[in-house]
Amino acid sequence: MRVLTLNAGSTSLKCALLAVEDSTATPRTEASAEASGLGSSHASAFLENADGSRRALPLEGSRPAEVLPGFLRELHKHLPAPEALAHRIVHGGDRREPARVDADLLTELEALEPLAPLHQPAGIAGIEASRAVFPDLPQTACFDTAFFADLPEEERVLPLPVACRRQGVRRYGFHGLAYTDVVHQLGEDLGQRTLLAHLGGGCSLAALREGRPIATTMGLTPDGGLPMATRSGDLDPGVLFYLLREGRSTDELEDLLSRHSGLAGLSGLSGDMRELEEAADAGAEDARLARAVFSRRLQAQAGAYAALLGGVDTVAFSGGIGEHDAKVRATALAGLAALGIRPDTRVIAVREDHVLARAAFSQATS
């Protein structure tokens, strides 16, 4: 069975056409496509065939939801027809398993948009665009939050009144599909005490004991935890009260913290770590500061999770920054030297499409 997978992130789109024999086998990649750096000067898109040959793809729009329709039409022109589709959906609420897409599921996912305003609309747009281009194919949704469904109670709850918890205000955790595949790729090398760092447009850490997550930095929404490309990460709540009293509306505040903070806000330049390194090397102080703040927060959180685990056996990085920025990796590991952790050039290349393909195969054949 050929399965087309779609991962609509906050700054990128990733697709792969995979041949799947069964739900336990490793899928074979027949082609892949990516649109990256959306919203920045580095924006580009390409289709890569199994033989390594590449074709540039046109981009229409800047945000993932805008780019999706044209992106999928281009893929339909150049790829063999798939028999099923699978989507990465960031917020699945309390769902623990992949689900077949239908009207009821879409309504449920739309209700979760306020908890993931940068991602959920793109994921839903991916489903709708896929329906338009491939109207007769079964579609499966796979949820980032499912990986963290069994977080310990003391990690899942937030220090708020019980009434808030009963409303579903708790830590959900995100990047679960990326972490699932890192765990799969590490296999026997996972270790008993594992620190995973997914660093891209969105950034998070997860602490695993015996392969099961016991803590993660993102919370109710993907805006919490580490500073990110355009998201602030954790803040003193008093900052929000102050800005509200100074006249900001809740919509303005959400836009500020989700789309204009993080690396982009600190630097006044860009949320792209590559651009910031180039600017810092050229003497831009705010770009240097943005990288320094990011690295410091990452190092501090890595140390906190190492303490929570009682030591670390394995550290793995994924995401665009995690895979390609050796300086950030080295900084994160430097504070763990006392535990015997040293910078390592080995990096896990996350293939979320394999997780999605196995799920779609199971849904399509059940």
Which residues form the catalytic set?
Answer: 144
- CA dist 65 to 11, 91, 129, 237, 365, Å? 10, 16, 9, 31, 29
Question: Could you tell me whether strands 28-36 and 84-89 are parallel, antiparallel, or unpaired per DSSP bridges?
Answer: unpaired
- CA dist 327 to 195, 247, 299, 343, Å? 18, 40, 12, 10
**Rounded distance, CA 55 to CA 78, Å?**
10
Interior CA angle at 111 toward 181 and 158, to 5°? 70
Element (H, E) at 216: strand 212-216
Instruction: Scan for tokens 């336990």, then name that residue.
Output: 24
**Rounded distance, CA 240 to CA 290, Å?**
21
Q: How many CB atoms lie within 10 A of CB 293?
A: 16
What tokens appear for 286 in the block? 């705010």
The amino acid present at 224, given as its one-letter code, is: G
What tokens appear for 96 in the block? 């623990």
Q: How many residues does the chain have?
A: 366
- CA dist 92 to 8, 109, 116, 359, Å? 15, 7, 10, 15
Element (H, E) at 106: helix 103-111
- Please say whether the beta carbons of 126 and 68 come within 8 A: yes
**Rounded distance, CA 144 to CA 174, Å?**
5
**Rounded distance, CA 52 to CA 34, Å?**
14
User: Measured in whole angstroms, how far is the alpha carbon of residue 63 from the centre of its chain?
Assistant: 16
